[in-house]
Amino acid sequence: MIGLALALALLTSGESPRLHDLRVSNGSRPFAGDGRLLTTVSPNGDGFRDRAIVHFRLNRAATVRLDVLRTDTLKPGRVSKTIWRVTRRFRPGRRQIVWRPARGTEPRTYLMRLKVGHRVYMNLPGRRRRTPVVRVQGIEAGFPQRSYAPGEEADLRIATDASSLRLQVFYYSSQVGPRQRDFKTAGTAMTGPIQLDWRGHRDAPGRLRFIRAGDWPSGLYFLRLTAGDGRVGYAPFIVKRLVPRSRVAVVLSTNTWQAYNLWDENGDGWGDSWYVGGTRSVDLRRPFLDFGVPFRFRDWDLDFIAWLNRTQKQVDFLSDDDLAAFRSGDELAAAYDLVVFPGHAEYVTAHEYDLVERYRNLGGNLMFLAANNFFCEVRRNAEILTRGRLWRQLGRPEAALVGVQYAASDYGAREGG
């Protein structure tokens, strides 16, 4: 027996160091959806879900390095950014490393990469999960639809472990007035703040019935949710008209908003966008990163909306869904003399392309204020949007509709006014 034990010890000592039984926890109660390789933290200093604990077992003594990565493939030449790193020497057995995110760490998922010896453990897009992911939770909120008419009800989905929330609706406007202005979206308050007890939903998402009251103008609105610890979340929505009131329609590119949204719903550390790892479908109900404001929305949309409000132009705002609700270009032409696409109208369905083309052929006026419009076909199945081929590959180059065609970009490295 002694000889066998000695032989096993000698064999073990020759093995390269390995990590086994990887898992992660937050030292408190799990949030809904958490599992062995996903945990939710909210680093606000209240002692509840303030830390992420990475557990593992080492087969032999080794040096372990842990990198916490922010994945971001929308920036050329950079897949991820290291926001925290620690290197420690461990003896064999069960060990752990604790990451305490700084207060104010941006809400999103963070991927953990571990290195021991020559072995690197890391999740890759579309592959089987191998390493822990930490979701830093802010206030995640989203409406099931992208636009609402007066009196329509919506079941707002909210995920946060804040014990109380203050809710207030803002209209994006650059007009100067006595009413309170929102610091993030430069909006004008349309309602007073409402306090909400959220203690019963600290471990799972909850739903809140929301009714848009009042004869508000058609436009872009944000519901702002504020917690007592300073966390802020936003849920954008469009107020539409059931019957057109203006002869000018402004279409906000809500398909593109979600195409560029790197919100990680499945918790693998990579944004659920077709810009990451070949994923071809996105869920239109996801909340947005960056406190609920769509990616690059300030660059593509807000200046034009501000100008409309500043000059008191009367227009009807539409989402991609509202545009697609027109049965034909003839119906669109009967409603509007001008259709404006102020943002990045990159992803449109075949029906949208057909009706806008028909609208143009009937003499309707089109205005495109950004690049890369009507670039790629998408298909809608319930709340899932799937990317198809480029329109030019389908024999319908965007230049035939827009008048110009996208060739290349420097991703905003050089900009001019």
- pLDDT score of 415: 61
Rounded to whole angstroms, the Cα distance separating 249 from 265 reads 33
Rounded to whole angstroms, the Cα distance separating 415 from 411 reads 9
- pLDDT score of 6: 43
User: What sign does the dihedral 22-270-47-202 (CA atoms) show?
Assistant: negative
Q: Are 49 and 2 in contact (CB under 8 A)?
A: no
- pLDDT score of 216: 86
- pLDDT score of 56: 97
Adjacent-strand bridge partners of 316: 249
Give burial (CB, 10 Å; 0-12/13-18/19+) of 199: exposed
DSSP class per residue in 324-373: HTSS-HHHHHHH-SEEEE-S---EE-HHHHHHHHHHHHTT-EEEE-SSST
Q: Are 319 and 363 in contact (CB under 8 A)?
A: no
End-to-end CA distance of the chain: 82
Nearest to 315 by CA among 248, 389, 222, 390: 248
Residue-level pLDDT, tens digit, the chain, 417 residues: 445 444 444 444 557 899 999 999 999 999 999 999 999 999 999 999 999 999 999 999 999 999 999 987 666 556 788 999 999 999 999 999 999 999 989 999 999 999 999 999 999 887 888 899 999 999 999 999 999 988 788 889 999 999 999 999 988 866 544 455 665 666 788 889 999 999 999 999 999 987 765 678 899 999 999 999 989 999 999 999 888 989 999 999 999 999 988 899 889 999 888 887 557 889 999 999 877 778 778 778 888 888 898 888 999 999 999 999 999 999 999 999 999 999 889 999 999 999 999 999 999 999 999 888 999 999 999 999 999 999 999 999 999 999 888 887 766 666 654
Burial 35-57 (b: 16+ CB within 10 A, else e): eebbbbbbbbeeeebbbbbbebe
DSSP class per residue in 117-149: TTEEE---TTSPP-S-EEEE---EEE-SSSEE-
Q: Are 166 and 225 in contact (CB under 8 A)?
A: yes
Rounded to whole angstroms, the Cα distance separating 197 from 40 reads 21
- What backbone phi and psi angles, to 5 degrees, belong to 104? 95, 0
Does the pTM of the predicted model rise above 0.95? no
Q: From residue 280, give the alpha-carbon distance in Å to each of 126, 256, 270.
A: 11, 13, 14
Using alpha carbons only, give the angle 349, 185, 239 rounded to the nearest 5 degrees. Answer: 50
DSSP class per residue in 241-259: -SS--SSEEEE--HHHHHH
DSSP label at 78?
Answer: -
Nearest to 245 by CA among 272, 266, 216: 216
Q: Which are the contacts of 397, defined by CB distance < 8 A and separation ≥ 6?
A: 391, 405
- pLDDT score of 108: 94
- pLDDT score of 185: 65
- Structural domains in the chain, sorted by start: 18-136 (2.60.40), 138-239 (2.60.40.1930), 243-260+296-417 (no CATH)
